[in-house]
Amino acid sequence: MDTSELQAPDAEQRRLAELSRYAITVDEPDPKLDLITSLAIKSVDADIGGISIVYQSQIWLPSRVGMEARHVPRSGSFCTWVVGAATESNFFEVADAGGDVRFCHNPLVTHAPHYRHYAAVPLHGARGYLLGTLWVMSEAVRRLDAEQVMMLQGMARLVVDTLELRYCDEVTGMSNRHVFLHHLQLGLTRTAQPHLVVGYIDLAGFRHLNDVFGREQGDLVLREIGQRIAIWAGRDNLVGHLGGDQFAFALFGTRDAHTQRLEHLQDIISRPLMLGGGGAHLLHGRVGIAHHALPYGGSAVALLDAADTAASSIGDYLQRTTVKEYGVELLTRSRMVFELQGALDGERQYGALVAHYQPQVDYTRGVLIGLEALVRWQHPARGMVFPNSFIPLAESTDKIYQLDMLVLEQVCRDMRAWLDQGLPVVPVALNFSRRSLLHPRVIDDLRQVLARYDIDGGMLEFEVTESQLLATADLVGPRVAEFRALGARIAVDDFGTGYSNLDAISSFPFDRLKVDRQFVHGVQGSERVAGLFHLIQGIAELFKAELLCEGLEDEADLLWLAQRGASCVQGWYFSAARTPEAIVRILGVLRDRAEAPPLTTAQLRALLQS
């Protein structure tokens, strides 16, 4: 007799479906499960033991001590009877299997060393379904006492907790990322369906909801959304909770059927949620999808990554759940993200990210007053890639901190080399993203880099854009103070583009105000632009900050600035961004003429462009 005879067929099918949440059968051994098995054997003074997961015709043993077999037939096994009796008892014991007609022919009993005693505790998953057993066996005929039974039951609970943590998301009970990808990979090889769509769901607004209503309510929301997605997908498809507010699904069938089903997904996610005092709250989702004809010889990971890429390309401000398909444009983007990561990791086949330096000058004194580090990507196929092509990718894929720190590392390395050559090094400005400025490790990492290259903090300037400041002044202000405590200079960049909020910029001290190029380029020919420039110049004087004018390209604008006493500039009129080697030549000339008269504007321009 097997378990299907002891349980109703529909109940057994639900139990087997529940087992699909786990990826035990092809998984690597889990040392935690082996430890629990060993403790169970020792606690009841048994000889062998194991953890059995009971499938339809086989029993898999993800952990076993004292036997080699990884799987055994379900028919005639001890576990068959444990499963059948699990609804009535949470403990099963056979004192003498040799004298029991159910087990006297079992190979473990008939073959040396002839195990006689068997005890097991059924393993019930978080959702109540029976998964298998934790069992022990001994050669001696005996019965466990009450304390030993209690110990074995406690060990069984540890087994279930370990399985749930490894294979299932603890909040929703859904398959976690590992198991979802495992079953998707199996589905790619086993399905007879002609088409597949893989989806990645990122809930917009969940974090705000979680902050307002608390984590307990947030978990209820995730469970509700997970249940909606699971019901929507149906039993023949796959769903998973990837963590946080992100879910995944895979639909097998025809493309037309998928199109119809996807139309309903938007309403499924955006249906109102009842929270707190009973008010209705809405969440929307960024849903990226990747279609593919079957059979498909690629990896499940690649399909999920494609769907993730499509989801991440959807904007932040959603009025409703939005679905975007991965296509040629996103394929190019995905490839570029992959190559960017390779370049960040120093894999030379993907090129190199290097810092170039644009000079900043005080032309009335004929001196170089600073450099701005601007990253470039020397790509093996695309040539020189400028930052507007890859900085947004780095920001949208959480690679921006790694990129900013790579540039910082190179800047400090270059400065150390210049100092060691006795060159007259000037401060270097870096553009850190808001995410990098607020990164929890940024101050510690900055200290380490400065110490590694023995660079004084005063030789670095960090630029905070006005838009960054306006969005999160309460967060940026304290972090800026930490940068200044290391001696670093602070510049407010792109000033004038963020509505020039004086309350925001007065929230922390800064050393330099950088006028955005739109208030410099063409200023001599526009009364409106000139008026705005005068206003910004007055703000710099009010805060006793140096005014630096960006984007200077024309001589006419230079003459206009000179008449208004704005002598510190940066732009193509004097020089584009230069390679580190070119900067060495420029600094070398300045060192050699240290006692010479100041450079004229024309001489300074010629030197910087040489």
Is the pLDDT at 195 greater than 70, yes or no?
A: yes
Return the pLDDT at 199: 93
344 within a domain of the structure (yes/no): no
Let me know whether 131 and 189 are in one domain.
no
Q: How far is Cα 375 from Cα 372, in angstroms, rounded to an integer?
A: 10
Let me know whether 147 and 251 are in one domain.
no
Q: What is the CATH number of the domain that holds 477?
A: 3.20.20.450
Helix ranges (DSSP H) in 173-297 = 177-190, 206-213, 215-233, 255-270
Q: Is 452 or 60 the better-scoring residue by pLDDT?
A: 452
Let me know whether 148 and 229 are in one domain.
no
Which is nearest to 236 in space by CA: 205, 190, 281?
190
The per-residue pLDDT of the chain, averaged, comes to: 84
At 471, the pLDDT band (50, 70, 90 cuts) reads low
Let me know whether 429 and 515 are in one domain.
yes
| Tokens describing residue 567 | 């002598």
Is the pLDDT at 396 greater than 90, yes or no?
A: no
Let me know whether 316 and 225 are in one domain.
yes
pLDDT, tens digit, 9 for 90 and up, residues 239-285: 888 888 899 999 998 888 888 888 888 888 888 887 766 667 778 88
Return the pLDDT at 19: 63
Is the pLDDT at 400 greater than 80, yes or no?
A: yes
Q: How far is Cα 134 from Cα 156, in angstroms, rounded to an integer?
A: 6
Q: How far is Cα 583 from Cα 575, in angstroms, rounded to an integer?
A: 11
401 within a domain of the structure (yes/no): yes
Q: Are 60 and 48 in contact (CB under 8 A)?
A: no
Torsion angle, CA of 494/498/504/507, rounded to 10 degrees?
-10
Q: How far is Cα 224 from Cα 53, in angstroms, rounded to an integer?
A: 29
Return the pLDDT at 468: 62
Range from 61-65, 226-230, 277-281, 574-578 carrying the lowest mean pLDDT: 277-281
Return the pLDDT at 6: 44
Is the pLDDT at 311 greater than 60, yes or no?
A: yes
At 456, the pLDDT band (50, 70, 90 cuts) reads very high
pLDDT, tens digit, 9 for 90 and up, residues 19-40: 655 555 545 567 788 888 999 9
Return the pLDDT at 541: 87
Return the pLDDT at 1: 39
Where are the extended beta strands (E) located within 48-184? 48-54, 58-65, 71-73, 92-94, 117-124, 130-138
Let me know whether 533 and 496 are in one domain.
yes
Domain that holds residue 319: 177-326
Alpha-carbon 476 to chain mean position: 23
Q: Residues with Cβ < 8 Å from 549, sequence gap 6 or more?
A: 514, 515, 520, 561, 566, 568, 569, 570, 571
Q: Compute how many other C-beta atoms are within 10 angstroms of the C-beta atom of residue 227.
A: 14
Let me know whether 80 and 32 are in one domain.
yes
At 472, the pLDDT band (50, 70, 90 cuts) reads low
Range from 12-26, 27-41, 487-501 carrying the lowest mean pLDDT: 12-26
Let me know whether 305 and 368 are in one domain.
no
143 within a domain of the structure (yes/no): yes
pLDDT, tens digit, 9 for 90 and up, residues 513-564: 888 888 888 888 888 788 888 888 888 888 888 999 999 999 999 999 999 9
List for the chain the helix, strand, coil content (%; round to 5).
Answer: 45, 25, 30
pLDDT, tens digit, 9 for 90 and up, residues 217-252: 888 888 889 889 988 988 788 888 888 889 999 999
Q: What is the CATH number of the domain that holds 48?
A: 3.30.450.40
Where are the extended beta strands (E) located within 43-162? 48-54, 58-65, 71-73, 92-94, 117-124, 130-138
Q: Which helix or strand (DSSP H or E) is residue 403 part of?
A: helix 400-420
Alpha-carbon 80 to chain mean position: 43
Domain boundary residue among 167, 194, 220?
A: 167
141 within a domain of the structure (yes/no): yes
Q: How far is Cα 266 from Cα 285, in angstroms, rounded to an integer?
A: 8
Q: What are phi and psi of 295, to 5 degrees?
A: -75, 155
Q: What are phi and psi of 243, to 5 degrees?
A: 115, 150
Let me know whether 258 and 397 are in one domain.
no
Q: Is 20 or 315 the better-scoring residue by pLDDT?
A: 315
Q: What are phi and psi of 64, to 5 degrees?
A: -155, 140
pLDDT, tens digit, 9 for 90 and up, residues 128-173: 778 889 999 999 999 999 999 999 999 998 888 877 777 777 678 7
353 within a domain of the structure (yes/no): no
Q: What is the CATH number of the domain that holds 226?
A: 3.30.70.270
Number of domains in the chain: 3
β-bridge partners, 52: 133
Let me know whether 126 and 209 are in one domain.
no
At 592, the pLDDT band (50, 70, 90 cuts) reads very high
1 within a domain of the structure (yes/no): no
Q: Are 547 and 537 in contact (CB under 8 A)?
A: yes
Q: What are phi and psi of 37, to 5 degrees?
A: -60, -45
Domain boundary residue among 167, 186, 216?
A: 167
407 within a domain of the structure (yes/no): yes
74 within a domain of the structure (yes/no): yes
β-bridge partners, 431: 463
Let me know whether 287 and 241 are in one domain.
yes
Return the pLDDT at 313: 79
pLDDT, tens digit, 9 for 90 and up, residues 325-369: 887 666 677 778 888 888 888 888 999 999 999 999 999 999 999
Let me know whether 162 and 197 are in one domain.
no
Domain boundary residue among 167, 188, 207?
A: 167
Q: What is the pTM of this model?
A: 0.55
Q: Is 138 or 309 the better-scoring residue by pLDDT?
A: 138
Q: How far is Cα 398 from Cα 55, in angstroms, rounded to an integer?
A: 41
| Tokens describing residue 305 | 């990554």
At 3, the pLDDT band (50, 70, 90 cuts) reads very low
Q: How far is Cα 335 from Cα 394, in angstroms, rounded to an integer?
A: 13
Q: What angle do CA 287, 289, 291 make, to 5 degrees?
A: 165
| Tokens describing residue 54 | 């009971």
